[in-house]
Amino acid sequence: MPATNTIDGHTFAINEEGFFTQRDDWNEELAGILAELIGVEMTDAHWKALRFMRDDQATTGVTPTLRRMQTVGGFDVKELYRLFPGKPAKKMSYLAGLPKPIGCV
Amino acid sequence: MRSVPEGFVVPNFGPAPAAAAASGRTRTEVAGGGSSGDTGPRKLALICSKGNLDMAYPGLILGNAAASEGVEVHVFFTFWGLDIVNTKTNGNLKFTMVGNTAMHMNELGRIKPGLEHRSMPQIMGRIPGMTKFATWMMKKQIAELDVPDVPDFLDLMQAAGVHMYACRMTFDMMKLIEADMHPGVEGVISATDFIEISENAQTIFI
């Protein structure tokens, strides 16, 4: 039985760190709740980054790194650091319902 | 900020930057007490002293990775390491197989299995054009992994908030000018300045 998190009627499978293991367990309402938990105030710019992450992961099978967000998604890295301060790549992948990125850059 | 329900597992995103700054605490204060397992804000100091292409990347990758983990990063470029932030040289760093006894090439395995693990004779590095070829090869392999070239990497680090400095002594010795420095370089500072800046940091010399 894999571990799960439950909040406000949403249940999703997680790994030992708490990251999603099933991308289909995610929905935008849940993302909004999780954002509140980790202290991120969602705006359109935040959602744009999360949607790109999910779309990109759907085609490549891996969570995009910050570098890929820049080169493929056209996002400004400085802006991503501002939107998701501290650990941008990890915060974004968490809120997008994806595993944390494995790339080095 | 909503509190985390009991039994709910949230990945470790570190302390909220605003909260950590507001409390004004330092690493040493936190290390002295507290039972939460929170070690406080981390700080990393990197000293980049080499200007070879293959010796530039370790510092850039570590510094950038640490920044994306919320670590405060300070990089001091000294001696040949200044070539990494000198815009006149940093697009043209080279890799040479001379003096590198670990020089082996994956591609050679296609010629004869096992050859990819054998180090190449040092004399081959002296063949004219070999450094150029080896540099081209390494740059190609780096680009294939979507890892940026050195100038782009510095842009990335600057965007990530990495603090970069040039070594005053090297700067004077090599007669460099500030206009040639990558814009991410915050200043030309002395060794003692860097020692002060890197107080309580984990320090890595490359």
Chain B residues contacting A, CB < 8 Å?
A: 1-2, 4-5, 8-18, 61, 64-65, 68-70, 146-148, 153, 156, 159-161
Q: Do B70 and A87 touch (CB under 8 A)?
A: yes
According to the model, what pLDDT value does residue B26 have?
44
Q: What is the pLDDT of residues A54-66, one digit of tens each?
A: 999 999 999 999 9
Residue type, position A50, single letter: L
Buried b or exposed e, range A32-42, using 16+ CB within 10 angstroms: eebbebbbbeb
How close does chain A come to B97, measured CA to CA in Å? Answer: 25
How close does chain A come to B86, measured CA to CA in Å? Answer: 22
Q: What is the pLDDT of residues B6-58, one digit of tens each?
A: 888 889 888 755 444 444 444 444 444 444 444 568 899 999 999 999 999 99
- Rounded to an integer, what distance in angstroms lies between the CA atom of residue A76 and that of residue A71? 9
Q: Among A50-54, B11-15, B63-67, B173-177, where is mean pLDDT lowest? A: B11-15
List residues bridging with A6 in a β-sheet.
A11
Q: Do A105 and B10 touch (CB under 8 A)?
A: no
Confidence of residue B1 (pLDDT cuts 50, 70, 90): confident
How close does chain A come to B173, measured CA to CA in Å? Answer: 33
Confidence of residue B121 (pLDDT cuts 50, 70, 90): confident
Q: Among B17-31, B127-141, B177-191, where is mean pLDDT lowest? A: B17-31
pLDDT at B115 over 80: yes
Q: What is the mean pLDDT of residues B174-197?
A: 93
* Secondary structure letter of residue B60 according to DSSP: H
Q: What is the mean pLDDT of residues B154-169?
A: 95
* Cβ pairs bridging A and B (under 8 Å): 83
Q: Which domains does chain B have, with CATH numbers?
A: 42-91+149-206 (3.40.1260.10), 96-147 (no CATH)
Mean pLDDT of chain B: 87
- Rounded to an integer, what distance in angstroms lies between the CA atom of residue B175 and that of residue B169? 10
Contacts of A33 in chain B (CB under 8 A): 2
Place of tokens 């420095």: B181
Q: What is the pLDDT of residues A10-65, one digit of tens each?
A: 888 899 999 999 999 999 999 999 999 898 999 999 999 999 999 999 999 999 99
* Secondary structure letter of residue B181 according to DSSP: B
- Rounded to an integer, what distance in angstroms lies between the CA atom of residue B52 and that of residue B49? 10
The answer to whether the beta carbons of residues B14 and B170 sit under 8 Å apart is no
Contacts of B2 in chain A (CB under 8 A): 33, 36-37
Domain ranges within chain A, ordered by starting residue: 4-95
What is the four-CA torsion angle of B178, B205, A88, B3, rounded to 10 degrees? Answer: -130
How close does chain B come to A88, measured CA to CA in Å? Answer: 6
Contacts of B160 in chain A (CB under 8 A): 77-78, 81
Strands in B185-189's sheet, in edge-to-edge order, are: B185-189, B163-167, B72-77, B43-48, B202-205
According to the model, what pLDDT value does residue B33 have?
41
Cα–Cα–Cα angle for B89, B91, B92, rounded to 5 degrees: 65
Q: How far is CA B16 from the centre of its chain?
A: 25
